[in-house]
Structure 1
Amino acid sequence: MPQHAALPLRHVLTLPAEPTAVRMTRQTAEMTFTEWGIGPSHPTVGPALLILSELVTNTVRHAAVLSPTVTITFAASGHTLAFGVHDRHPHQPPLYGAVTHSGGLGTVIELTAGLGGTAVVRADADGQGKSIWITLPL
């Protein structure tokens, strides 16, 4: 069972894979994190919002042709914040090879590692989609 599945706090958001999804994801994340007691001044929140923005932007730019929607799952406990960005495009990007590139996934990996977190890609059972999960300590 993935580590994030055991986290008691959950919120799921599904949006059209369009540019407005980035702003809506950030707004929903800020609201959800605050409701969970993870306020905007927490040192993990700013980087987490940037990571989310990069992941949703990548879905809109690269996966929308095969995935008309993007689903973002937020999960947390007292010591962990996790979120996954899911689309129905079969390409699974090599996350840790991305660090050599500026922006995009390179930024995601650098920020995640800098916070002591993890990043994984999980394929859908049918191989026709994937989720990128970020787990960060609080």
Structure 2
Amino acid sequence: MVAQQEGLPNRHVLTVPAMGSAVRLTRETTEQVLAGWGINRNHPTVDPALLILGELVTNSVRHAAALSPNITVIYAVGPDTFAFAVHDRHPYQPALCAAATAAGGGGLATVVELTLGLGGTAVVRADTDGRGKTIWITLPL
């Protein structure tokens, strides 16, 4: 998980139970963390980032909670980049390329479309033991 954070001096990690309240808590924490880093709530990247994060956390709650009682959100920011990741311990790794091209692909298609539309990147990384994954989103500021 560290590779995506290299060169991004500010970091924050949040671990929440894999339940519905996780979405609200991660969104609120994101707003607080960004404000603490001097990123204004009205910055054009913030609303899309909150939507993307909400979709990723919702997916983990819906699809991974049985195998992953907790979800970890990692935030990192640099002068021109905001990166965040959602990690769970479910082995399924969604194909982001397929989501991007799927008509009506749901939340994950929205995540990919928003991320790419902002000039960002989306990557899925498997845990070394193959029993979990992290979805990394990097957005320009």
Tell me the TM-score normalized by structure 2. Answer: 0.95
Taking the aligned partners of 1:98 and 1:13, their CA distance within structure 2 comes to: 26
Q: Deviations over 1:30-56 (max 9, x none)?
A: 000011111110000000000000000
Q: After TM superposition, give the deviation of residue 6 of structure 1 in Å.
A: 2.8
1:31 aligns with 2:45: no
1:137 aligns with 2:140: yes
1:18 aligns with 2:19: yes
Taking the aligned partners of 1:126 and 1:28, their CA distance within structure 2 comes to: 29
1:1-138 equivalences under 5 Å are: 2-99=3-100, 100=102, 101-138=104-141
1:119–1:134 Cα contact (<8 Å) kept: yes
Q: Which amino acid aligns with 1:130?
A: K
Q: After TM superposition, give the deviation of residue 2 of structure 1 in Å.
A: 2.3
Unaligned runs of 5+ in 2: none
Aligned residues between the structures? 138
- The CA RMSD over aligned residues, in Å, is 1.0
Runs of 4+ with deviation above 6 angstroms? none
Tell me the TM-score normalized by structure 1. Answer: 0.97
Q: After TM superposition, give the deviation of residue 4 of structure 1 in Å.
A: 2.3
Q: Percent identity?
A: 64
